[in-house]
Amino acid sequence: MGEHPTTDEDFHRLVDSIYESALDVAAMPAALDLFSRYTCTVSPRYLIWDKLAGHARLGVTPHGCFTGGASLPDRLPRMLDGACHGAGPAPLDAAALCCGGAATDAAALACSELEQGIRLVENAEVCVLMSGTNAGSISTGQRERRLSHVMPHWVRAARMQQRNFELSGLASLGLAGLDTLDFGVMVLQADLRVRYANSWAEALVQADSHLSLQDGVLRAHSDTLQAVLRKLLDGAMRGRGADAASGSWMHITSGGQPVPIIVTPLVSRQPVEGPWQLPAAMLLLGNSESRSVLDAGVLTSLFGLSRKESIIAIRLAAGETLNEIAEREFLSPHTVRVHIRDTLRKTGTHRQSELVRLLHLLPGVNLERAGVSSAIRPRAPRPRAA
């Protein structure tokens, strides 16, 4: 009794706003404003404190978001820092609230506890808190009831937000790793729509007049290459599992460089939601100009190879013949064979092909960094193979 006639409507509008803010931080000031009106809380604050870095990742008030420690209002970190580090008094029942317990004692959500900062999420890395001041325009009992209804939604939304932050960070790291590769990676749908392309793939397509990205779709300017791409994709996506097959094609760019194209099935180990659940394949564009081979230091550390053995192994992995290695290193073919024999013994391999496969699994750097003085001569393009 005595509640405002639109309380239920206000409550549902507030809850919708809370979950919207979990997906979009920009919506959080509006959510806090609705929260302030519904619970009669003055200057509600939301803070994500990074325990490892020792500063705030995010601070929000009804007036805006503050994404850097330097731009946070002075009172915001000072008010909540103590609670994050255990220096100040903890909320009465914050543990049950944060752990999703059923106990939502109104006393845990009372005005005095909210002012101290209620822990919405806390783990080894972050602490997410809310704070505010009682406006006193409604009775204490009404305010406690409203807080007890709303705060569990803030807890769930904060967890969702932190999970989204984690996934976003992992995705950014993964994409950054793909951008360091010296060959192209694309994820394609059956209609040649590009869902992802790393920086090398984008650069190759931009430099090659035979290929283009139009409205996010990979297109070949020749009917022959277009047919090849579609055939490779169809083979990779057929069956989306054990029946799918990889395919390859040697593409000659407009600059005359041979670029191996490999298309392979792309199947997620976990269910994929949304547009990403469509059949997809991964297209790899080889870098014919790359001189990435093995680091001599890695070979020495792992297998105890001498400098000369490491350089010969590097050249062998790069595709040079025994006679080419002997000529470049000013050695006799017999001496090169001896070094290769010793390298096989030290690496636990029995044939040169096994050694090359092993070396191709190891970290790659440039020949110059590996200590090889002369560059590898370009090899003739391989014949095309469908």
Q: Choose between 368 and 121: higher pLDDT.
A: 121
Q: Choose between 87 and 343: higher pLDDT.
A: 343
Q: Say if CB 130 and CB 118 are below 8 A apart.
A: yes
**Per-residue model confidence as pLDDT tens digits over 73-83:** 444 444 444 44
We find that the CATH architecture of domain 7-175 is 2-Layer Sandwich (3.30)
DSSP state letter for 191: T
Which residues belong to CATH 3.30.450.20 in the chain?
181-285
Tokens of 219: 């297109």
**Per-residue model confidence as pLDDT tens digits over 42-77:** 889 899 988 888 888 888 989 888 875 544 444 444
**Per-residue model confidence as pLDDT tens digits over 145-192:** 899 999 999 999 999 999 998 989 888 998 898 888 878 899 998 889
Tokens of 189: 């749908």
Which residues belong to CATH 1.10.10.10 in the chain?
293-370
Lowest mean pLDDT among 132-136, 193-197, 206-210: 132-136
Confidence of residue 247 (pLDDT cuts 50, 70, 90): confident
- Reply yes or no on whether the pLDDT at 40 is more than 50: yes
- Reply yes or no on whether the pLDDT at 218 is more than 90: yes
Q: What average pLDDT does range 22-40 have in this prediction? A: 93
Q: Choose between 271 and 255: higher pLDDT.
A: 255
Quick one: pLDDT at residue 365? Answer: 41
CATH 1.10.3720.10 fits 293-370, yes or no: no
Q: How far is CA 343 from CA 13, 42, 142, 316, 333, in A?
A: 71, 74, 80, 11, 15
Quick one: pLDDT at residue 344? Answer: 94
Which residues belong to CATH 3.30.450.40 in the chain?
7-175
Residue 41 CB-density burial (10 A; 0-12 exposed, 13-18 middle, 19+ buried): buried
- Reply yes or no on whether the pLDDT at 371 is more than 70: no
Q: What CATH number was assigned to the domain covering residues 181-285?
A: 3.30.450.20
Confidence of residue 272 (pLDDT cuts 50, 70, 90): low
- Reply yes or no on whether the pLDDT at 201 is more than 60: yes
